[in-house]
């Protein structure tokens, strides 16, 4: 059984990812790009996406793997 903290943690990661997609769409569709630091915002979105991806790979995916596949035991 999956613990409740794991479900909460995974939902926070998914919510963060959805917020980044919404934020990217909002900045992309904003008409006056000269008044906001778009490069900084794009870099922060990219860095946060990489951080979320690493959290998913390190914390979420191992829950669904078997011990042999997680240890990369090919024998």
Report pLDDT digits (tens) over 61-73.
877 777 777 676 6
Whole-angstrom distance, CA of residue 43 vs CA of residue 48: 9
Determine the Cα–Cα distance for residues 19 and 13; give it in Å rounded to an integer.
10
Q: Is the pTM of this model over 0.85?
A: no
Cα(28)–Cα(41) distance, integer angstroms: 11
- Taking only the tens place, the pLDDT of each residue in 2-52 is 678 878 888 888 899 899 899 889 888 888 877 778 888 889 889 988 988
């Amino acid at each position: 059984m999956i613990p409740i903290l794991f479900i909460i943690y995974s939902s926070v990661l998914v919510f963060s990812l959805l917020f980044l997609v919404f934020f990217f769409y909002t900045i992309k569709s904003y008409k006056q790009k000269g008044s906001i630091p778009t490069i900084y915002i794009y870099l922060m979105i990219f860095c946060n996406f990489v951080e979320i991806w690493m959290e998913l790979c390190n914390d979420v995916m191992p829950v669904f793997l078997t011990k042999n596949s997680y240890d990369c035991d090919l024998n």
